[in-house]
Every structure is written in structure tokens, then in C-alpha cells.
Amino acid sequence: MEKIVLVAINAKFIHANAAIYSLMAYCRPIPITPLEFTANDNFNFILSEIHAAAPDVLGFSCYIWNMHLVEPLVRAIKKILPQVKIILGGPEVSFDAADLLTHCPADIIVTGEGEEVLREILSGHALSQIKGVTYRAETGEVRANPPHRKLDLAVFPFPYNADNLPENKIIYYESARGCPFSCAFCLSHNEKPVRFVPLARVFADMDFFLTRRVAQVKFTDRTFNCDPDRALRIWRYINDNDNGHTNFHFEVAATLLDAAALELLGNAPDALFQFEIGIQSTHPQTLESINRDIHTRQAIDNINKLASRGNIHIHLDLIAGLPGEGYERFQESFNAVYCLAPDMLQLGFLKLLKGSRLREKAGDFGILYNDAPPYEVLCTRDISYDGLKSLKAIEQAVDTLYNSGNFKQSLKYVQGFFATPFALYEAFSRHWKSRGYHRASQSLPSVFKIFHAFAQPHGDANVLANLLKFDWYAAGNTKNLPWLDAPTREDADKINSLYKESNTSRRLPIVKFDFDPTAEPEAIPRETEPTYILFRYTGKPRPGSQKKYGEICFLPDPVIR
């Protein structure tokens, strides 16, 4: 019997590859061996592991983040294991399969949905009779067959079981394929109509995850709530069966959140749900040029309602480099989305994906992009390479200061001294780069010192120092920063007495502040009595929880906030 190996090269270790689990489940009882790596793994290590697996048939799951490894791996494998039949599949090879086979020595490319196609290949069907494949015939000629029919998702088996459920990884789950919208930068517009897994199956699958108390389930549905009633029923089922541990992540359209959904979600347990919402741009002409049908005002209103209780982790996306949005106009989109106070703000950059409409129309918008994956924009008619390079630096600043969650109180204070949020991050990115910090990785204590130096010219130095000190301990650090927190002998005596009075372990920090550092910046009084806070770190919360820092106890009264 032939040995069949499927290889996934994931973007990060925390990710699991949903495609190979689905393929293996659909092809049962044909035995398949999975091999999972990351894009950061050494080429020779991956090659050695594949060679050791001794495959007769070898498949690769191909995406923009791993093709730089897949193509050279295919060439090397064909040299050391020339008899191996190599199959490629995935979005990165589905749209130019014939051209790819002219310079890549793979044998077969599965174009489009792969489960039924792979089963037919492995079952020994003649390639000439299998729809959805492009292949190299015995004559060396490259032949492309017509597309395979779309299958009913009801016939797809559940991809996970007690033996293959990935540990310590995000579990990806698919309850639908396709998208009703036609955003020009996305591939999902190619899959219409949207197909759904039956609700009864979804509920049973959720029971599997809940029973096993997995940390996070991430739905891969492109617009999960494109059918609002169906989405509501799934959210209600998860809410009613919450195990107090598992977090569920969804990509949703904010404009489709109706009153019933907002009411249910507003009363859900903390961090049960995590939402990713693509705003991309607030510029009407830009949204029109990319066929993105979104009412920005309604989306913003619904996001505000969704965030009002603070129980849902909200991740908002922007895309730089879209048609019609230059550097100045992008600032407006950034400021509008930042003011929604998401838990995470992702500043992404346009990628001209194979098969996307925007790639086909790139010339119309003056878009130049990198020829190599991930095909990221270099410049457009509206924004120069220098402009995009500046936004790259601002992206790093946002990740360092905002998305890390390490500067919550001090960042709010410093923001008050800049005209706009964008102006703050633009200034910090210039400070960071002008001193060469971008050339090497910086430790967290170093980042605190860098932000302190940047922020010192703004506002009150003592207020800033107190807020940075609070952020440092709130982020889970138990050792002080000597340059920031150097208690006097009197302070040390007072703190020692508080340890005794509160019967607290000295492994937990009790810290003196000149005022209540949890107050909003505008509410900080000019003169106040010292505040002492005990930081209790209560262990890792549910993924997506906003209670990242555990308990904060005000002493001497045991008040927990």
C-alpha cells in the first residue's frame, strides 16, 4: 500500500491547518500521515522530516505564507525521491496551476475545493477523468481539467476526533464556505452561493469542543453572520452551553448585527466571544472602488453597542494601500477606527492575491506590487512607497504600544497631548526609528524606557511616571524598574506593614502611587493621598478576556477592582 503524507507549513506554531484535517477525514479509510511545520522552520529540517517519512504520495497545502518554502522543497524532493508523486493544493496554486507546472516539478495541482478531488486521486481514478485537477501527463504535456462540482457540506465529516485534536493550538472550524459579498481584494467572492454545514451538525461539533475544554475555536467562515438568524442560533447555543473556559472567534460584518444579536452578545459571559471586524477604510470612494458594500456609520454604531459592556474582545482591521486612499486620507480612517477603542487594531497592507479582482484591475488604479508572495502593495497612484514605509513603522508602533496592552493607562494620558491618535503613533515611530531601535529586538523593560523618554516632554513627569509604573505591574511584572520605581526607606516601611496587615505573600507586589492610577487621566487630582495597590496575578484567563491582569486590590482596605 502506498504511503501518503500531507504537509502543512503554518504561519505560526499556534495555528493548526484545518485543510489537512478536513482532507484526511473526507478520504477515510485511506490512511494518511500528516506533517505540520511552521514557516519559520529551517528548510533542511523540513526536508529531512519529509524524507524520513518515506512517502510514495506527498501533498502540500499552499498559501501565500509558505510558497517560498514549498517550491524549493518540491524541487529538492524530486531530486532525492524522484519516484514520489507530488500533489499541490490550496488558494496559492488554484489560479495559475498550468503556468506553475511549467517551472515547478510537482505532478498534480488540485484547483479549488480539494476533498473529493483528493479522494479520487488516491483511489486510483484516471487523472484525465478527475475534474478539478491540472496535471503533467506522461508525455510531459500540462493538461487542465474542468472545475469540480461544489459539494454539499452536509456530507463532509467532522475533521477532528479525540486522537487528532491539536494540543496548545487554535482550533480552526468551518461551518460555511463562500461569501455573499464581492470585495475586490478577497478570494471568497469566487465561491457563490454560500454553503452551510447543517445546524444540528454545528451544535454537535460545538459539544465536542466544549466537552474537551479546548482554549479557542476560530470559525473560518468569511462572513459568519451573513445569515443573521443562523448566526444568532449558533451564538445562543454556545452561550447556553458555555463551559467557562473555551473562547469562540468569528469574523463578522458589523452592519448585519441586529437588535436580537446585540442583546444576546451584550449579556454573554466575559470573553466567550471574540469578533474580528473588517472596516478596511472609512473613505466612501475607496469602499466603492473595491466593491465593498458597507455603511460605515451603521457599522460604527453597532461596534459601539457591541463594545459597550466590555465583555467581547473586538479586533478591528484596516487596509493601507487601497485605491483612492493616500497617506493623508488614511489618517482619517485610522483615527475613526482607533476612537472605537478596539482591543486590537490591525493595520494591514493590501495584498494582490491570485484570483482577486483587484489584482486583475491593478493597472487601472496604478497599483504596483511585489511579484513574490504575499504580493504586497509597493505603491499606488495615491500613496508612494515612502508613504507606505511610514505606515509600516506606524504599524509597529501600534503593535508595540496599543495591541500589546502594556501601556493602557499611560497611553491614554500621553494621547491627550497629541492632536489625533495617528499623530501620536507617527511621532513615536519617528522617535523609535531615529534612534535605531528598529534594527534590533527590544525587551519589554527597554520598550518601557523608550516610551518614557518619548513621552517625558509631554504633560506632568510625575503623573507619567506613576501611570507607567502602574502599567508595568499590571502587565504581570513582579520586579520593579529601578529607574522608574525606587521606593524611599519610609515607603519601604509602609509597604512592609501592609504585607503584614494583609497577610500577603511577598511574591506579589505592593506598590505605592501618588494618586489612584486607575482613574481616567482627566480625573487625576493635583493633590491627593498616596495609594497602595496589591497586584494579584490569578493565572491565565480565558483567551480574549479583558481581565488580563488579574485582581488589583487597594490597601489597606481590601477593595478589588
The pLDDT tens digits of the residues spanning 293-326 come to: 888 999 999 999 999 999 999 999 999 999 999 9
Q: Are strands 344-349 and 313-320 parallel, antiparallel or unpaired?
A: parallel
The larger pLDDT score, comparing residue 364 to residue 544, is at 364
Whole-angstrom Cα distance, residue 295 to residue 235? 24
Lowest mean pLDDT among 28-37, 47-56, 476-485: 476-485
Cell of 503: 497577610
Mean pLDDT of 50-57: 98
Cell of 184: 475586490
The larger pLDDT score, comparing residue 557 to residue 215, is at 215
Q: Alpha helices, DSSP H only, in 190-289? A: 199-211, 228-240, 259-266, 284-289
**pLDDT tens sequence across 69-97:** 999 999 999 999 999 999 999 999 999 99
pTM above 0.95, yes or no: no
What does the pLDDT read at residue 560? 47
What 3-state DSSP class applies to 530? coil
CB-based contacts of 547, cutoff 8 Å, min separation 6: 270, 271, 541
Whole-angstrom Cα distance, residue 403 to residue 111? 37
What does the pLDDT read at residue 22? 97
What does the pLDDT read at residue 294? 84
**In contact, 311 and 299? CB cutoff 8 Å:** no
What does the pLDDT read at residue 536? 86
What does the pLDDT read at residue 561? 46
**In contact, 347 and 334? CB cutoff 8 Å:** yes
Question: Using the 8-state DSSP alphabet, how is residue 225 labeled?
Answer: G
Phi-psi bin for 263: left (phi > 0), alpha (psi -120 to 50), beta? alpha
Number of C-beta neighbours around residue 436 at 10 A: 8
Residue 539 has pLDDT above 90, yes or no: no
What percentage of the chain carries pLDDT values higher than 70? 97
Number of C-beta neighbours around residue 297 at 10 A: 10
What does the pLDDT read at residue 549? 56
What does the pLDDT read at residue 553? 84
What 3-state DSSP class applies to 276? strand
**pLDDT tens sequence across 410-458:** 999 999 999 999 999 999 999 999 999 999 999 999 999 999 999 999 9
**pLDDT tens sequence across 276-295:** 999 999 999 999 999 998 88
Mean pLDDT of 4-22: 94
Cell of 404: 500589546
Whole-angstrom Cα distance, residue 207 to residue 386? 50
Lowest mean pLDDT among 47-51, 215-219, 225-229, 554-558: 554-558
Mean pLDDT, the chain, whole residue set? 94
CB-based contacts of 236, cutoff 8 Å, min separation 6: 264
CA triplet 55, 57, 60: central angle to 5 degrees? Answer: 100
Closest CA to 33 of 16, 21, 48: 21
Whole-angstrom Cα distance, residue 155 to residue 461? 64
What percentage of the chain carries pLDDT values higher than 90? 86
Cell of 169: 493550538
**pLDDT tens sequence across 490-529:** 999 999 999 998 888 888 999 999 999 999 888 887 677 8
Whole-angstrom Cα distance, residue 2 to residue 85? 10
